[in-house]
């Protein structure tokens, strides 16, 4: 997809990968409607862009509020005249505990934001995208969406739902003007844990193993994602860990599951 001149909506744009995606799109000549629950984060993004920018609008919104999302297309079109692409990046993680110890409130919150938020945004904007000469939907899943991660089982389930939902959508829209991509980020240096209201667990060094795949910067992840949009790539992997674990899990899922379980034991107090 040619980015210059297009109008992109980006959720989770108040920080992390979402903020960097918005900045990368703006640098390529796109207009951006930035969506986030955090008004403070959106204000910081706008400050990075500069005073009174004409090609960015900010919208404070809870994407798990279906009624609020349903009203969003009109607000975006009022600000930008049209909408060409939706990037569903917003997401949260669960507390680092087993399913047995995870309360229902946390379960519902993760599913509502990660899966239903993505679903609501897609449903709200797809009718408008289908009317454009060329359009795009990009949904951010996770490495945890194809690989089981103990201590993040419900988070993984929500991102697996995003994965299959997006892949199904890709098939449904093959003969349309709407391109569809799913993104599988690996470990990325963002504040997703803090922003999710989850206590950050400490992970002690074990023979330097955690340095095998250093965390990707949010800026680099955004660069890979935007490049994938330009190439209309159905699947986009960010990070060598995501690429490697995808191949390993396809080759030997039991071995891969035991490997990631061993690495997660210190986080779970095992």
> Can you point out the beta strands (E) in the chain?
7-11, 31-36, 56-60, 85-88, 135-140, 178-185, 188-189, 216-217, 235-238
Domain boundaries defined on the chain: 7-264
To the query of whether residue 104 is one of the catalytic residues in this protein, the response is no
Mean pLDDT value across residues 139-162? 96
pLDDT at 205: 35
Mean pLDDT value across residues 230-256? 95
Residue 211 has pLDDT above 70, yes or no: no
pLDDT at 265: 77
pLDDT at 197: 62
Mean pLDDT value across residues 143-172? 97
Kindly report the backbone phi and psi dihedral angles of residue 235, in degrees, each rounded to the nearest multiple of 5, phi listed first: -125, 135
Residue 202 has pLDDT above 50, yes or no: no
pLDDT at 207: 35
According to DSSP H, which parts of 152-252 are helical? 153-172, 192-195, 218-230, 240-251
pLDDT-wise least confident of 46-60, 72-86, 246-260: 46-60
Mean pLDDT value across residues 77-104? 96
Phi-psi region of 162 (alpha: psi -120 to 50; beta: other; left: phi over 0): alpha
Between CA 95 and CA 198 the distance in angstroms is 5
Catalytic residue among 120, 136, 155, 170: 155
Would you state the structure tokens that stand for residue 252, as one six-digit string?
């030997």
pLDDT at 174: 98
pLDDT at 142: 96
Would you state the structure tokens that stand for residue 92, as one six-digit string?
């949260």
pLDDT at 191: 64
Tell me the whole-structure pTM to 2 decimals. 0.90
Model confidence pLDDT, tens digit, residues 213-231: 578 899 999 999 999 999 9
Between CA 264 and CA 44 the distance in angstroms is 34
Terminal Cα-to-Cα distance of the chain (whole angstroms): 47
Q: Which fold has domain 7-264?
A: Rossmann fold (3.40.50)
Report the mean per-residue pLDDT for the chain.
Answer: 91
Helix (H, G, I), strand (E, B) or coil at 140: strand
34 within 8 A of 13, measured Cβ to Cβ: yes
Q: How many CB atoms lie within 10 A of CB 205?
A: 9
Model confidence pLDDT, tens digit, residues 108-137: 999 999 999 999 999 999 999 999 999 999
**DSSP assignment of 49-74, as one string?**
H-SS-SSEEEEE--TT-HHHHHHHHH
Q: Please report which confidence band the pLDDT of residue 187 belongs to, taking 50, 70 and 90 as the band edges.
A: confident
């Amino acid at each position: 997809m040619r980015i210059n001149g297009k109008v992109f909506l980006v959720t989770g744009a108040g920080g992390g990968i979402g903020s960097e995606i918005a900045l990368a799109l703006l640098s390529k000549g796109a207009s951006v409607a930035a969506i986030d629950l955090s008004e403070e984060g959106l204000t910081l993004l706008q400050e990075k862009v500069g005073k009174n920018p004409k090609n960015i609008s900010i919208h404070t919104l809870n994407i798990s509020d279906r009624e609020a999302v349903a009203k969003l297309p009109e607000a975006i079109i009022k600000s930008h005249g049209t909408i060409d692409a939706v990037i569903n990046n917003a997401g949260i993680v669960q507390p680092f505990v087993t399913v047995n110890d995870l309360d229902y409130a946390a379960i519902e919150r993760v599913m509502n934001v990660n899966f239903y938020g993505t679903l609501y945004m897609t449903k709200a904007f797809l009718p408008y995208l289908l009317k454009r000469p060329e359009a795009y939907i990009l949904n951010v899943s996770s490495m945890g969406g194809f690989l089981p991660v103990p201590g993040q089982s419900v988070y993984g389930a929500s991102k697996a739902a995003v994965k299959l939902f997006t892949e199904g959508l890709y098939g449904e829209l093959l003969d349309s003007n709407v391109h569809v991509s799913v993104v599988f980020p690996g470990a990325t240096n963002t504040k997703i844990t803090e922003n999710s209201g989850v206590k950050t667990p400490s992970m002690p060094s074990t023979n330097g193993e955690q340095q095998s795949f250093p965390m990707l910067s949010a800026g680099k992840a955004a660069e890979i994602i935007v490049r994938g949009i330009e190439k209309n790539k159905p699947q986009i992997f960010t990070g060598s860990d995501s690429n490697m674990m995808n191949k390993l899990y396809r080759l030997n899922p039991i071995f891969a599951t035991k490997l990631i379980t061993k690495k997660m034991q210190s986080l779970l107090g095992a």
